[in-house]
Every structure is written in C-alpha cells, then in structure tokens.
Amino acid sequence: MLKLSRNNKVRSALELFASMSISGIRPDSHACNSLVACLIRNEYLDDALAVFAIMRKESMATGHTFSLIFKALAEARGCGPAIEMFVEMELEGRTVEGRFDVIVYNTMISICGRSKNWLEVERMWRRLRESDCIGTMLTYRLLISTFVQCGQAELALSAYNEMIQNGLEPDEDIMKGIISVCTKEGKWESGLTVFHRMLDRGIQPNAIAFNSMINCLGKAGESDHAFRIFELMRSSGLSPDVYTWSALLNSLYSSRRYADALRLFEFIMKGRSELNVHLYNVALMSCQRLRLWDRSLQILWDMEESGMPVPTESYNLVILACERAKQPKVAVEVYEHMIHKKCVPDTFTYLSLIRACIWGSLWIEVDEILRRVEPGASLYNTIIQGFFLRGKIKSAKKLYDKMRANGFEPDGKTRALMLQHLREDRT
C-alpha cells in the first residue's frame, strides 16, 4: 500500500486498503498516512476523509494525519470548515493520546494565518498553551509573521517574549518583523533590544532593518540613539538612502534640534543624495521654527529648480516662516509666486498670510485676500481677532456681522473680544 500510494496508484491503493480492512488486517499508521496523502494529492478529498474516519475509529490517526486532513480541507473548502472540524475533534478528545500535538497546532495556525484571520490564530495559540504543548520555532515564526502582517503589535511582541522565555533563539526574519512592529507602534526600547540581539548574534541587518530602527528612534525623538545606529549602518558598508536621511532628519526635528536638522539637510544636498518632498519640508519646518525666512526662501527655490512638483504644504511653510519672522511683505510675495505657479492655496495658506498682513498693517492686502476667497469660520475668526487686536474695531464688528449673516459661529476668543468691546461702548 505504501508503494502504491507513493506511485499515485489511487484505485489500487484504495482497493488494497478496503481488502485489508475486510480481512481484519490492520495497516500501520505510516502506510495509511501515505494513502491519505496520495488521495489528497490527486484531489480525492471525500475518499481521504473516509479513510481518515476509519483511522480515527481504529485510533491510528497521528499528528501528521490530522495535519494532512485539516490542510486539505482548508485548501478545498476554506478556513472555516477546517476550524470547525478541529474544534469538534478537540472537544471529543479523539486525538493523538487524547490531545493534539504541536504539529497539528502549527498546521492550524498556518491555515488561519494564510487567511489573515489573526483572531483564530490567537485562539489556536491559546489552545496550544492550554494543552501543555510547547511551541516550536515554527510556531513562533507563524505567530509573529501573522500578527505583524495583521498589525497586531502587542500579540507579536507577546509571542516574541514567550519564545525567548522558552529558550528559543529568534531568527533574522522574526527579529526584522519585531523591529518593524516596534517602529509602527513607537516601542523604540523593545525595538533597540531586538536590534542589538541581532548584532550580538552576528546577524548583519540589511538597509531596511537599519532604516526601520532609525525611523523608530527618530519618531520617539531619540536622535542620539538614531545616529549611533546610523554610524553602525555606515561601518557595515551600507549606504544611506532617502529613507535613512528622512528618518535622521525626523529624529532631529522631533528632538527640537532644528539647527542640526538644517545642517544635516545641507550635508545631504552637498552629497548629491536623492531628495524628496518630505526632506525639503522637514528642512522648511526647521526654518520656520528658527524664523529663518531667507533660508526657507532659498530652500523653496532649490526645490523648484530640482523640477519636482512643489505642493501647497511647502509654500505654506515658507509663508509661515515669514509670518514668524515678521516679514509680511515677503509672505505676500511668496503667496503671489505660489499663485503664479498655479499651486492652489488652502485654508492654512490664508490663515498664515492673513495673520502676517494684519500684524504688518497691510490692510490693502487683507482686503484683496477677502475679495479673492470666501472665508470660512476659521478665517473669519482670525481676521476679526486681528482687527480687534490692531485697534480696527469698526472693521472687526462689520466683519463679525457678516460672519454671523453667512451662518458661521464665532469661536471663544472672538466672542470674548466682541463682549469686551460691547461693554466698553456702553460705558
């Protein structure tokens, strides 16, 4: 029967199995498993299930048998029927020595994982622990891979920690997956521990792993740690790419090291590295924080000369830098240049521009902006508050009435200023 099954002689193998059963001759589990595998391989699932039922009845089914059947059922009829059969048999207790072995649990975790059904994967993991089975390297590789793909960071980390507690050493793929999860969830300390574990074991991280770790540290504002990892990256012979530079710039900006961020940006530009919109925008955000309006203009011109499309956000950052540096006329020029470039302004453009013009007493420009755009609630509130604070009380009240007539509600600050001046009028 073993030979017939291996040679895919389906009918002959089945007839022999039936003949042996009638004669009271009991084939061993190995031969029966070979027959089941042959039937599944040749798409005779119903016959495989029939043989499986006999094997269960005769207590001949092994972990391999269950794995074959569950996997075949999932491939032919979906994950659901395989889970139903698993649960039913688990409740009956008609399994190998009264319980499933780790091979069966691994099979079910794999089946559910392929369907991205992380809830069932978690249930299978819980059942495995309740059955006193000890997970293997494959168990944890399947668990972590599924949880990472499904965005279940806490479960991925729990599986990783359990694996370490059980004395198993994670492989490179597992550690890269955990670092990826830590990056997404901002768990930089856990990520750094895993990263150093990779290095201690002599595993050379690739550029993706380095970038992921630098990005994780950067988001947490741990710029010193981020640059240490960057130095390790360079010493390993890997070249930084646009993702590396982006992560490093983010780390400096998140740490409020704006001048250092600009110095790094200058270094990147001199090195003729690939630049993208995000890198330019981080540099522009740093300029805005430092009120370096002239430097922000230079970066904007460099951005335009590079040929890349300049988004509204970049122009907004330059206008905001001009506002912070009290350069209202320059802000207006940037706005007009933006319009000339056919870049569409948004609410943030107008808010920053209006604030700059009001504090610079550029009332003609304010009127011009009001003619160009129909204000929304935020713009109305900004202009009214600016008018009040600059002593243009009549203009503020007139615009307030227009705002209410157009159905917009004043915010708390606008309402307070109106009440204050109403009291002053009465007194």
Please report, to the nearest 10 degrees, the dihedral formed by the alpha carbons of residues 388, 394, 397, 400 taken in order: -80
Chain centroid to CA 153:
10
The reported pLDDT for the residue numbered 99 is: 66
Amino acid 129 reads: R
Mean pLDDT in runs of 10 for the chain (427 residues)?
79 82 79 88 88 84 89 90 88 61 92 93 92 90 94 91 91 87 86 89 87 89 93 92 93 94 94 87 97 96 93 97 95 95 92 91 87 83 86 85 86 86 63
Cα–Cα dist 167/153, whole Å: 22
Contact 181, 215 (CB under 8 A): no
Q: Is 144 helix (H, G, I), strand (E, B) or coil?
A: helix
Instruction: Name the residue with tokens 């670092």.
Output: 179
The reported pLDDT for the residue numbered 424 is: 63
Cα–Cα dist 182/189, whole Å: 8
For residue 61, CA distances in Å to 24, 50, 121, 144 come to 18, 12, 24, 29
Amino acid 147 reads: F
The reported pLDDT for the residue numbered 130 is: 87
Contact 87, 111 (CB under 8 A): no
The reported pLDDT for the residue numbered 372 is: 83
For residue 128, CA distances in Å to 45, 132, 172, 411 come to 27, 7, 25, 57
Cα–Cα dist 153/188, whole Å: 13
The reported pLDDT for the residue numbered 225 is: 93
Q: What is the pLDDT of residues 150-164, one digit of tens each?
A: 989 889 999 999 999
